[in-house]
């Protein structure tokens, strides 16, 4: 059943952005979804369809927003064992392995986390937003592992989306990068936009894009004559832009080990332990793991924090580095 939001602009709301005004006056729907509904011709101001989410409002404007009934998914189930860390009637916390994408897209419509969720319980996923992404509130890259939260109903989806949009979700990643980070602890604050040379990549920009903030600290440094200099970091996100950590590390000149898109070339290290060299060269993923996620439960209204250990293929490299660097 479709829903309607009807609002009237007051004098003190003059010149507010349309999407911001609706978001401030309707706590049940995220700003991202408001924007998508506007672009989908679901909003009228004074009985005229408006397609500009950034339109400035005038006192007396009457706003009518239609929230359509969710569409049923036609996605195929994928028989895949999900690593479920936590589940209740409102959400699922998954520990996603590397090598599988979150949702269907170009070239892969069947073998994704979404398809696996459809196979697991097709009737218990949120159905708002993109019909190819039921339950998906946020994403991590195909070759990144770690924790993600899945919404099982629309109320939970909207609530979690709002927490992400307000940057109140706790997200901590563990990663191994080339070289030594200077300073060893700090904050990276830049704009990130799509690359003009490769539309599948992102880049730091001085003048355009979205604000991206990554807090980092060095946990462990591996440095001697028999191994390349490597740093184990933890990054805490304040924002969640596409490829944010990967772009920021590459921007610093310390790209993530195993990252084929955002990488820096290093000269061959002589006398390196051959087993360690083989493990690093043959790593079929980036050394990036979403180890911690924390949020306020959408129904219980209590803080929930989940942690995940490094997968075996990453922990093996760390053990070899610790042994070799002694």
**Which of 316, 315, 284 has its CA nearest to residue 99?**
284
Taking the CA atoms of residue 238, residue 240, residue 244 and residue 249 in that order, the dihedral angle to the nearest 10 degrees is 20
Q: Is 52 a catalytic residue?
A: no
Length of the chain: 326
Query: What is the secondary structure of 158-211 as a DSSP string?
Result: HHHHHHHHTT-SEEEEEEEEES--SSSEEEEEEEEEE-SS-TTSEEEESSSSEE
Q: Please say whether the beta carbons of 118 and 76 come within 8 A.
A: yes
Q: Please say whether the beta carbons of 179 and 254 come within 8 A.
A: yes
CA contacts within 13 A on the Cβ side of 74: 0
Catalytic residue among 19, 61, 90, 141: 141
**Which of 86, 90, 112 has its CA nearest to residue 157?**
90
Crossing angle (nearest 10°) for helices 31-39 and 154-165: 110
Q: How far apart are CA 177 and CA 251, in angstroms?
A: 12
Query: What is the secondary structure of 44-57 as a DSSP string?
Result: EETTEE---TTPBP
Peptide bond into 183 cis (omega under 30): yes
Task: Give the active site residues.
Answer: 141
């Amino acid at each position: 059943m479709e829903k309607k939001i009807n609002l009237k602009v007051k004098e003190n709301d003059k010149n507010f952005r349309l999407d911001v005004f609706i978001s401030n006056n309707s706590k049940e729907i995220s700003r991202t979804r408001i924007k998508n509904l506007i672009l989908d011709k679901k909003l009228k101001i004074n009985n005229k369809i408006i397609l500009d989410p950034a339109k400035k409002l005038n006192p007396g404007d009457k706003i009518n927003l239609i929230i359509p009934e969710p569409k049923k998914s036609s996605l195929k189930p994928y028989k895949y064992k999900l690593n479920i860390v936590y589940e209740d009637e409102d959400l699922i916390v998954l520990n996603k392995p590397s090598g599988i994408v979150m949702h269907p897209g170009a070239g892969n419509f069947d073998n994704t986390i979404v398809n696996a969720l459809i196979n697991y319980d097709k009737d218990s996923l949120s159905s708002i937003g993109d019909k190819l992404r039921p339950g998906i509130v946020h994403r991590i890259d195909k070759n990144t592992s770690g924790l993600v939260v899945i919404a099982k109903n629309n109320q939970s989806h909207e609530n979690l989306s709002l927490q992400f949009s307000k940057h109140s979700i706790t997200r901590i990643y563990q990663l191994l990068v080339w070289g030594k980070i200077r300073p060893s602890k700090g904050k990276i604050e830049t704009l990130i936009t799509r690359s003009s040379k490769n539309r599948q990549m992102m880049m730091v920009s001085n003048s355009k894009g979205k604000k991206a903030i990554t807090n980092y600290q060095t946990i462990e440094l591996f440095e001697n004559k028999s191994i390349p200099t490597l740093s184990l970091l933890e990054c805490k996100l304040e924002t969640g832009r596409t490829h944010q950590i990967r772009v920021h590390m590459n921007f610093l000149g310390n790209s993530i080990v195993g990252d084929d898109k955002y990488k820096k070339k290093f000269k061959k290290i002589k006398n390196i332990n051959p087993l360690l060299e083989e493990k690093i060269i043959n790593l079929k993923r980036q050394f990036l793991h979403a180890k911690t996620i924390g949020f306020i439960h959408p129904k219980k209204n209590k803080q929930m924090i989940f942690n995940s250990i490094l997968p075996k293929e990453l922990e093996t490299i760390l053990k070899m580095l610790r042994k070799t660097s002694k």
